Amino acid sequence: MSTMHGLAGHRFRRKPLFRGGDTVVGKAEGMLSQYRVLDLTDEHGFLCGKLLGDLGADVIKIEKPGGDPGRRIGPFYHDIPDPEKSLYWWAFNTSKRGITLDIETADGREIFNRLSRTADVIIESFKPGYMEGLGLGYAALSQINPRLVMTSITGFGQTGPYSNYKAPDIVLWALSGNAYITGDDDRPPLAPSFPIAHFFGAMEAAIGILVALYQCGITGEGQQVNVPAQAGLAWATGPEVQGLWDVDKNIVRRSGRLWRRYRPGTDDKVDYVSIPLIYPCKDGAVRFFPFVQIGMLPSVRALTQWVIDEGMANKALKQVEWSEVDWQKIDQKTVDEITESFGKFFMTHTKAELWEGAQKMGIQLYPLFTPGDMLGFEQLTIREYWTEIEHPELGTSVTYPGAFAKMREAPCEVRCRAPLIGEHNEEIYLGELGISREELLLLKQARVI
């Protein structure tokens, strides 16, 4: 018998939309303020709940007693490897409340069932079948709450030949077609050194949830959302890669800093020309977009003039008439000659100088920014992108990226820092679920919460 059975008669009290007290949550009503989300995800899904939270939803991050494994991911605040100081955790769990709960225990499952009764959305990223195995699958939970939107984020989806395959970032990056087209052609395919692959799954999940919530508003019925991150990520390889295979049976290969432009060749074959897109400069690198269309001519002409003015143009660049350059026809030797001077010119300037000149002259050039460059970027400062988030437990505040979009009627904003381990246990279990303090103490000692 469950130690929780005595609680069955308690009514779950709907939480107040905005709370005072020591938790600073909900500065203003957001578009999703009427929704409650239970977030069971690991690091692959954190972003989904965070976005819904930024839009005002009451997102409750549910962690295992002792804290979520995602708290082990660095970097750490002042390099202190403490589960309360993981900057990865901080970054993607803002705008959430946090409780601890072990749903593998019988009491934990019962509490979860009760939480599900007043929730609109559940997000989970376990192996397919895990929730069903606990009796917490959609079939069971929708009996309790027919409006529930049950969202599952995984590498490959809930069913299919790879559904049980492990999918760390580099594996997804590979199987989605992104690795093959990334990196230098004389080296192995390359993955980003910071994991971004799973964000496609987390974001597609947020989109799926919003469609399901909209439909629920019409029909009163929830549903399941099944999100395979691989599909979202494969979509990002884009039209050139997928179109050239589908139609031309041509495989786009990685070409590093060069942009390989595909074009019709002789005998119906696809040919290509490689144009530098990333150039090293004095203190880093820049991306210059050399595409020649009517609208782009002023940009490439302005850069050419700048290089000429500084006496760094070779003969080929001095003579080039950009309105006659057609990337569909130009030969590689000519490209190499006219871009050679760009490369040499960039090496004589810093990112800041090149950016300043590019803005003045209307050149399509962006420096490869580091976080330091971003914090110094005037546009972001003027738009008040950066937001100071209080960390009362450390007696300080920290500069975070702010809203993912500016909204006027109901704001999108970072509402509070990420929760500490079990920070809202009392608020939610005592204050909202109606569990007594005695039971809370018992559940804590039994490692249920």
Partner 1 sequence: MANLPFEGVKALDLTEGGVGPYTSSCLAFFGATLIKIESPNRPDSLRSMPPFKNGVLGHSYYFAYPLSSKRLAITLDLNHPKGLELGKRLVAWSDVIIDSYTGGTMEKWGLDYDNLKKIKPDIIMLRTCMHGHSGPLAGHHGQGFILTALSGFDNIVSWPDRPPAGLYGAFTDHVAPLFNVVSLFAALDYRRRTGKGQYIDQSQHESALQWIAPLILDWTINQREPVANGNRCAYAAPHGIYRCQGDDRWCAIAVFPDDEWESFCRVIEKPAMAKEPKFATLLNRKQNEDELDNIVGEWTIKHTPEEVMHLMQAAGVAAGVVSNSKDVAEDPQLIHNHFFHELDHPEMGKCSFYHGPLFELSKTSYELGRPPLLGESNEYVYTKILGLSDEEWVELITEGVI
Return the residues of window 415-444 that contact partner 1 according to CB under 8 A: none
Number of residues that bind partner 1 (CB under 8 A): 156
Contact with partner 1 (CB under 8 A) among 200, 342, 345, 429: 200
Q: Which of residues 319-338 bind partner 1 (CB under 8 A)?
A: 327-328
187 Rama sector, left if φ>0, alpha if ψ -120 to 50, beta otherwise: beta
Q: Which range touches partner 1 (CB under 8 A), out of 123-131, 316-324, 406-414, 438-446?
A: 406-414
Contact with partner 1 (CB under 8 A) among 118, 165, 431, 434: 165
Contact with partner 1 (CB under 8 A) among 398, 420, 430, 442: 398
Q: Which of residues 119-148 bind partner 1 (CB under 8 A)?
A: 138
Q: How far is the CB of 314 from partner 1 (least distance, A)?
A: 22
Q: Which of residues 4-43 bind partner 1 (CB under 8 A)?
A: 31-32, 34
Judged by CB, which is closer to partner 1: 380, or 442?
380
Contact with partner 1 (CB under 8 A) among 309, 324, 378, 438: 378
How far is the C-alpha of 84 from the C-alpha of 40, rounded, in Å?
A: 18
Q: How far is the CB of 432 from partner 1 (least distance, A)?
A: 23
Contact with partner 1 (CB under 8 A) among 208, 276, 419, 422: 208
How far is the C-alpha of 100 from the C-alpha of 420, rounded, in Å?
A: 10
Q: Which range touches partner 1 (CB under 8 A), out of 59-67, 104-112, 178-186, 434-442?
A: 178-186
Q: Which range touches partner 1 (CB under 8 A), out of 3-11, 17-25, 104-112, 244-252?
A: 244-252
Q: How far is the CB of 275 from partner 1 (least distance, A)?
A: 11
| In contact, 254 and 178? CB cutoff 8 Å | no
Q: How many CB atoms lie within 10 A of CB 376?
A: 12
Q: Which of 374, 343, 412, 408 is nearest to 54 (CA)?
A: 412
C-alpha distances in Å from residue 326, one per residue of 81, 159, 160, 194, 411: 55, 47, 45, 37, 46
| In contact, 2 and 110? CB cutoff 8 Å | yes
Q: What single DSSP character describes residue 289?
A: -
Q: Which range touches partner 1 (CB under 8 A), out of 16-24, 121-129, 333-341, 362-370?
A: 362-370
How far is the C-alpha of 303 from the C-alpha of 335, rounded, in Å?
A: 15
Contact with partner 1 (CB under 8 A) among 66, 81, 160, 392: 160
Judged by CB, which is closer to partner 1: 3, or 215?
215
Contact with partner 1 (CB under 8 A) among 4, 59, 234, 300: 234
How far is the C-alpha of 392 from the C-alpha of 84, rounded, in Å?
A: 12
Q: Which of residues 61-100 bind partner 1 (CB under 8 A)?
A: 73-75, 77-79, 87-88, 90-92
| In contact, 168 and 196? CB cutoff 8 Å | no
Judged by CB, which is closer to partner 1: 278, or 308?
278
Contact with partner 1 (CB under 8 A) among 5, 13, 14, 263: 263
Contact with partner 1 (CB under 8 A) among 20, 21, 217, 395: 217
Among the residues of 282-387, which ranges form H helices? Answer: 297-309, 315-319, 332-347, 351-361, 371-375, 378-382
Burial of 10 (0-12, 13-18, 19+ CB in 10 A): middle
How far is the C-alpha of 166 from the C-alpha of 147, rounded, in Å?
A: 31
Contact with partner 1 (CB under 8 A) among 369, 420, 421, 426: 369
The residue to which tokens 């919530």 are assigned? 213
Judged by CB, which is closer to partner 1: 8, or 80?
80
How far is the C-alpha of 391 from the C-alpha of 103, rounded, in Å?
A: 29
